[in-house]
Amino acid sequence: MNRRQQEQTIVNLIRSLGTSLKNRGLYPPTHPLVRTPVEKCFSDILLFFANRQELALAITDETLVFEGVPIFKLTSSLELFMARLAAIGIPAIIFDKGLSPEDIEHFIRFLHETKEEGLTPSDVQERIEKMGITHIRVKPQVEEDDDFSLARDTYNNAVDTVATVLREIRLGRIPSGAESERVTNAISSMLKRNRDAIMALTMIKNFDEYTYNHSVNVAVISLAMADALSLSPQEKTEVGVAGLLHDVGKTQLALDLIRKPGSLTVSEFEEIKKHPEEGFVLLGKMSHIRPSSAYIVREHHMRFDRKGYPDMGPDYPQNPASSIISVADCYDAMTTMRAYQNAKQPLEALELMERLSGKSLDGSIFAVLKNVMGSYPIGTMVRLSSMEVGVVTGVGPAGYGPNRISVLVDRHGHPLPRPEEVEIAGIDTRTAPPGRSILGTVNPLLYPDAQKEALLSASPS
């Protein structure tokens, strides 16, 4: 199965669980409307045990997640299934290899018959074992490492989605936008659950897949700003999809032009300037794409002072959310190494963008980015008062402590055998409590590969 087929199978098997539970309240246990969904679930779940010993199903931020795949479109039966898990006190369950239809059937019976609420995971585990359920376990709690694993799955799914959309368009086909909307919602969910986990991934740059990673990074950063602006769920989805697909119009340009390492000629730049309008046209043809997302894609290079492209005239009513994509696009492009530019460090990029504020960039939206990124953005290499050197891997609310630092180099300048994770309660040596505090930034060129090592250790695969 390819990824899309896997995800559809996941949706189907979870729906089968919900359908069986719903019908269990209407029909006897032996009725086909109860038994058939169990058998369908079993046949689907067997496909995933080919290369796994266990499968995890969890409730995360009121969302069902199976093996890292969130289920957003809930039927009434799925809502009932999720409500029963939450009410009884089951945060996550594990299906072990060797699972039988009887295990599933007995677990559905347990969910249907249990009247108590708020049980401890150990109580639930004891009861299901007494029912003879041998290959379904209750997971007591979701570990922090699972946050980083889920963040990486979410990020990689988004990269795959962008790659698929661009490939389909280059082949002359118009893909559906449903998958782009799904991964956008998954990113939003991950930002609520553990913002640092997925924001850290935007700083692990992949030069070979710049186009895909850049698109996902812009979506992640844009959605973080959308959260800070308290946009509605629909507006967040529109912004996220636009961020994910903001460069889709480049599929209509020659690959040699897009990949050209040197400066562009005047005529070449005129070709590049066509991609927002090309993107607008393409998104207009795709199903499951809201009109606002298409307009945001068209407008993301117009600039705050309207000196960008395309030139729609001074009276054109620009979508306010376009500035979110423009700011996120600028930040990620500046902090990424390209054939024609060295990557700027996060603080350096913010300082350069400050000069563009009120000109090419909307000053109020740039202020939101600064607030989201904090005084020492994720990915910044810093020196501590202990003279150790580390990389910021997490920031506190509104950019104020605690900052999470991955210490890589000891006070004598020797690399540590393993990064040490510490939290800094303050960002100013005058106000920080006794212990480590941040003295300032460090040039990462002094410690090659250290930044990536720290971010990878903070978000293990």
For residue 432, pLDDT beyond 60? no
Q: What is the pLDDT of residue 448?
A: 63
Burial of 349 (0-12, 13-18, 19+ CB in 10 A): buried
Amino acid at site 399: G
SS3 breakdown of the chain: % helix, strand, coil, rounded to 5? 55, 15, 35
Same domain, 194 and 275: yes
Q: What is the domain range of residue 369?
A: 145-373
Which stretches within 90-228 are classed as H helix? 101-113, 121-130, 144-170, 178-201, 210-228
Distance CA 259, CA 246 (A): 17
Q: What letters, b where the CB count within 10 A reaches 16 and e where it falls short, cover 268-305? A: eeeebeebbbbbbebbeebeebbebbbbbbbbbbbbbe
Residues 268 and 364 in one domain: yes
* Domain's final residue, options 105, 139, 173: 139
What is the arithmetic mean of pLDDT over 428-443? 67
Band (401; pLDDT cuts 50, 70, 90): low
Mean predicted lDDT score pLDDT of the chain: 86
Clarify whether residues 219 and 339 are in a common domain.
yes
Instruction: Report residue 71's pLDDT band, with 50, 70 and 90 as the boundaries.
Output: confident
Indicate the pTM of the whole model: 0.69
pLDDT at position 139: 79
Q: Looking at residue 308, what is its pLDDT?
A: 95
Q: Are residues 191 and 244 in the same domain?
A: yes
Which token pair is 163?
């790659």
Q: Are residues 250 and 303 in the same domain?
A: yes
| SS3 category, 386 | coil
Residues 247 and 363 in one domain: yes
Residues 220-227 have a mean pLDDT of 96
Query: By the 8 A CB rule, do 392 and 423 touch?
Result: no
High-pLDDT (> 70) share of the chain, %: 88
Same domain for 207 and 353, yes or no, is yes
Among 139, 154, 183, which residue terminates a domain? 139
Q: pLDDT value at position 339?
A: 57
Model confidence at 230: pLDDT above 60: yes
Residues 409 and 449 grouped into a single domain: yes
Residue 364 and residue 385 in one domain: no
Looking at residue 112, what is its pLDDT?
93
Instruction: Give me the pLDDT at residue 1, please.
Output: 59
Q: What is the 3-state secondary structure (H, E, C) of 15-33?
A: HHHHHHHHHHCCCCCCCHH
416: pLDDT strictly greater than 90: no
Least confident of 78-87, 327-336, 340-349: 340-349
The whole-angstrom separation of Cα 390 and Cα 430 is 20
Residue 432 corresponds to which amino acid? A
Contacts of residue 293, defined as CB under 8 A and 6 or more positions apart, other chains included, come to 238, 239, 241, 242, 245, 283
Q: What is the pLDDT of residue 402?
A: 60
Model confidence band, residue 442 (pLDDT cutoffs 50, 70, 90): confident
Task: Tell me the C-alpha distance between 329 and 29, whole Å.
Answer: 55
The top-scoring range by mean pLDDT among 11-25, 187-201, 286-300 is 286-300
Q: Which of 11-15, 39-43, 241-245 has the lowest mean pLDDT?
A: 11-15
pLDDT at residue 32, rounded to an integer? 92
Across 193-219, average pLDDT: 85
Distance from C-alpha of 112 to C-alpha of 109, rounded to nearest angstrom? 5
Provide the CATH number for the domain around residue 276. Answer: 1.10.3210.10
Could you say which of 109, 139, 169 is where a domain stops?
139
Residue whose C-alpha is closest to residue 186's, from 72, 289, 56: 72
Tell me what the mean pLDDT of segment 353-374 comes to: 95
Q: Which residue has the higher pLDDT, 250 or 314?
A: 250
Q: Residue 281: pLDDT above 90?
A: yes
pLDDT of residue 66: 83
pLDDT confidence of residue 396 = 67
Q: Number of helices and strands (H, E) in the chain?
A: 17, 10
Q: Are residues 220 and 357 in the same domain?
A: yes
238 plus 366 within the same structural domain: yes
pLDDT score at 134: 92
Structure tokens at 373: 């990124």
Tokens linked to 325: 């994509």
Residues 88 and 116 in one domain: yes
The pLDDT of residue 257 is 87
Mean local confidence (pLDDT), 153-177: 93
CB 322 within 8 A of CB 299: yes
SS3 category, 406: strand
Give the whole-number percent of the chain exceeding pLDDT 90: 50
pLDDT on residue 425: 65
Q: Give how many domains the chain has, as a whole number.
A: 3
Q: What is the mean pLDDT of residues 6-14?
A: 82
CA distance 260 to 364: 34
* pLDDT tier at 375, thresholds 50, 70, 90: confident
pLDDT score of 4 more than 70: no
Alpha-carbon span 438 to 407, nearest angstrom: 12
Using the predicted structure, report yes or no on whether residue 11 has a pLDDT greater than 60.
Answer: yes
Question: Residue 430: pLDDT above 70?
Answer: no
